[in-house]
């Protein structure tokens, strides 16, 4: 019993975050250069409430977080109202938009809809601390990093599921009383 209790206290952010080892990788948006079409397919193919924005897929350096609904609305608006924004237009979350190659459609600047400082914890943060932060800050999601690289995401629902699992396993756990 004791070792079980010890285990539950030592659950770390990496044990609760998604994706799991067997899951497809985290769905992220690159801060510059993705096309409207690419982002639209990402939205169509997933149902996540939001997407981390990274410097590049290789670096996995976190830039911010964008809510799905804000992306949907902004792209819809731009397609309807913004002169010349089409499927091939590039989307930028950067402060400055580089000059576009000649004959390319106008870019879509979306820095304004991005949360520039999404809450993050490292993969080794104890889950009791993460739960506490969620409660105190009223978070909906939190990103997980390792050495500054984006590794995963924990949503409020992930935490609730985790808490339910822990409660089943260890009813006396002080974490979830
Ligand atoms: P909820 O957890 O409330 O259902 P989401 O629909 O955003 O919220 O997330 C569903 C699941 O997918 C959660 O387990 C979450 O950790 C994970 N998830 C959320 N966003 C992403 C993403 N961009 N890429 C991969 N997995 C994600």
Structure tokens at 132: 């506490």
What is the three-state SS of 23-67? CCCCCCEECEEEEHHHHHHHHHHCCCCEEEEECCCCCCEEEEEEE
Q: Tell which CATH architecture fits domain 2-176.
A: Roll (3.10)
Q: How far apart are CA 157 and CA 86, in angstroms?
A: 36
Q: Tell me, using a 6 A CB cutoff, whether residue 146 lines ligand 1.
A: no
Residue 19, ligand 1, Cβ within 6 A: yes
> Which residues pair with residue 67 across a beta bridge?
50
pLDDT band of 8, cuts 50, 70, 90: very low
pLDDT digits (tens, 9 = 90+) for 44-100: 999 999 999 999 999 999 999 999 999 999 999 999 988 889 999 999 999 999 998
Which is more confidently placed, 77 or 1?
77
Ligand 1 touching residue 20 (CB < 6 A): no
Instruction: State yes or no: ipTM above 0.90.
Output: yes
Out of 14, 15, 18, give the residue to mutate to test ligand 1, the one with the largest number of ligand atoms within 8 Å of its CB: 18
């Amino acid at each position: 019993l004791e070792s079980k209790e010890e285990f539950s206290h030592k659950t770390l952010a990496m044990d609760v975050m998604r994706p799991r080892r067997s899951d497809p990788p985290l769905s992220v948006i690159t801060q510059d250069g993705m096309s409207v079409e690419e982002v639209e397919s990402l939205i169509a193919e997933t149902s996540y409430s939001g997407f981390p924005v990274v410097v590049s897929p290789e670096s996995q350096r976190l830039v911010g977080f964008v809510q799905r609904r804000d992306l949907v609305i902004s792209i819809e608006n731009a397609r309807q109202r913004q002169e010349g924004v089409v499927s091939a237009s590039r989307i930028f979350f950067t402060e400055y938009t580089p000059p576009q190659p000649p004959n390319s459609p106008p870019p879509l600047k979306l820095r304004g809809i991005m949360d520039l400082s999404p809450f993050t914890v490292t993969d080794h943060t104890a889950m009791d601390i993460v739960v506490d932060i969620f409660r105190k800050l009223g978070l909906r999601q939190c990103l997980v990093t390792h050495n500054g690289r984006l590794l995963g995401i924990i949503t409020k629902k992930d935490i609730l599921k985790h808490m339910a699992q822990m409660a089943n396993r260890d009813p006396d756990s002080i974490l979830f009383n």
